[in-house]
């Protein structure tokens, strides 16, 4: 589970098979009404895609709740707190002079504002390295694809808004308390090493991000999962997804559910779709 959270937090590190779909219908003999899985991507805006997914409107109409990987709306304040460094630590205190120079160069290149500016000191110096890296990945992608992505309009926000409009509850297949506990348990020194590695290898990071976007556009869930596993050192995803899949199964037996889930969790021999099939559920590609 801890590696699953790391995977979720590194959700941008993805990439192009048989599972070329964005919407899936999930049924079983013991389930009265079908549920649906729609693939999402953290670095694409929904408006160019949701309207083109055949069957998505019917899926939203015929389900009674929406589940994400994690229901971040329920833990927003607590998550912000978890992303703050403990008292006595700053981001600068975790880095040496050379690493701070890398940090400064990145910010000047992508925001035209130096690390020493009051704005960046307030925004970044008190936050955990992994929270900073998530922002930096967005900055890297946005500056390399001007006008293509708006981080204020995400798939999660779109489906949350639809659920609110329809008066439907939302939830997550990873329990919020476990997610927060594991976020807090990641040693900040380890996080700092990851941030430095990202700063040292920006071109490689951008190449992986770009491939992940192309994989999503190609509706290639198997490829997204395969590349994610290669990024994480050939780590199999199966054991990491067992608990979330069991939560999905319990949820869809309770009510017909629309699961809006990151594409990299769906494909592959040990991904969510394969695990549902192995547990006796019929997973039919819709579009």
The answer to whether residue 236 scores a pLDDT higher than 70 is: no
The answer to whether residue 237 scores a pLDDT higher than 80 is: no
Strand 282-285 and strand 170-172: the pairing is unpaired
User: What was the pLDDT predicted at 234?
Assistant: 39
Residue 278 binned pLDDT confidence (cut-offs 50, 70, 90): very high
Name the least confident of 12-21, 111-120, 198-207. 12-21
User: What mean pLDDT, rounded, does the chain reach?
Assistant: 87
User: What was the pLDDT predicted at 19?
Assistant: 46
Query: What percent of the chain has pLDDT above 70?
Result: 88
The answer to whether residue 166 scores a pLDDT higher than 80 is: yes
Comparing CA positions, the residue from 247, 278, 123, 136 lying closest to residue 201 is 136
User: What was the pLDDT predicted at 6?
Assistant: 46
Measured in whole angstroms, the distance separating CA 71 from the mean position of its chain's CA atoms is 12
Rounded CA separation 49/155 (Å): 10
Q: For residue 37, list its beta bridge partners.
A: 24, 259
Whether 113 and 141 have beta carbons less than 8 Å apart is answered as: no
The answer to whether residue 95 scores a pLDDT higher than 50 is: yes
The answer to whether residue 122 scores a pLDDT higher than 50 is: yes
| Structure confidence by residue, pLDDT tens digits, 128-165 | 999 999 999 999 998 988 877 887 789 999 999 999 99
Note the pTM of the prediction, 2 decimals: 0.86
Average pLDDT over residues 201-208: 90
Residue 43 binned pLDDT confidence (cut-offs 50, 70, 90): confident
User: What was the pLDDT predicted at 213?
Assistant: 85
Which residue shows structure tokens 């013991």?
A: 30
Pair of tokens at residue 266: 């769906």
| Structure confidence by residue, pLDDT tens digits, 215-230 | 898 999 988 887 666 6
Task: Give domain limits for the chain.
Answer: 2-82+154-186+205-285
User: What was the pLDDT predicted at 102?
Assistant: 97
Whether 163 and 70 have beta carbons less than 8 Å apart is answered as: no
How many other C-beta atoms lie within 10 A of the C-beta of residue 12? Answer: 21
Whether 59 and 160 have beta carbons less than 8 Å apart is answered as: no
User: What was the pLDDT predicted at 209?
Assistant: 85
Average pLDDT over residues 81-108: 95
Q: For residue 65, list its beta bridge partners.
A: 257
């Amino acid at each position: 589970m801890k590696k699953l959270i790391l995977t979720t937090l590194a959700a941008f590190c993805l990439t192009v098979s048989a599972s070329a779909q964005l919407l899936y219908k999930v049924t079983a003999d013991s389930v009265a009404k079908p549920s649906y899985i729609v693939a999402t991507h953290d670095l694409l805006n929904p408006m160019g895609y949701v309207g083109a997914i055949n069957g998505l409107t019917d899926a939203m109409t015929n389900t009674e709740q929406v589940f994400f990987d994690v229901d971040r709306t329920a833990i927003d304040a607590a998550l912000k707190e978890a992303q703050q460094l403990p008292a006595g630590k700053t981001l600068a205190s975790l880095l040496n002079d050379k690493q701070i120079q890398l940090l400064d160069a990145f910010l000047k290149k992508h925001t035209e504002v130096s690390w020493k500016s009051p704005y960046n000191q307030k925004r970044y110096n008190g936050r955990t390295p992994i929270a900073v890296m998530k922002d930096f990945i967005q900055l890297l992608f946005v500056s390399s694809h001007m006008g293509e992505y708006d981080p204020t309009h995400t798939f999660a926000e779109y489906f949350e808004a639809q659920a609110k409009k329809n008066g439907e509850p939302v939830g997550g297949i990873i329990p919020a308390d476990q997610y927060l506990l594991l976020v807090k348990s990641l040693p900040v020194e380890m996080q700092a090493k990851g941030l430095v590695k990202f700063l040292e290898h920006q071109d490689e990071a951008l190449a992986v991000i770009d491939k992940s976007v192309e994989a999503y556009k190609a509706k290639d869930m198997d490829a997204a999962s395969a590349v994610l596993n290669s990024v994480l050192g050939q780590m199999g995803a199966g054991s990491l997804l067992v608990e979330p899949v069991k939560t999905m199964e319990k949820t869809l037996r309770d009510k017909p559910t629309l699961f809006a889930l990151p594409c990299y969790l769906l494909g592959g021999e040990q991904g969510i779709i394969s695990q549902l099939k192995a547990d006796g559920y019929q997973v039919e590609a819709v579009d």
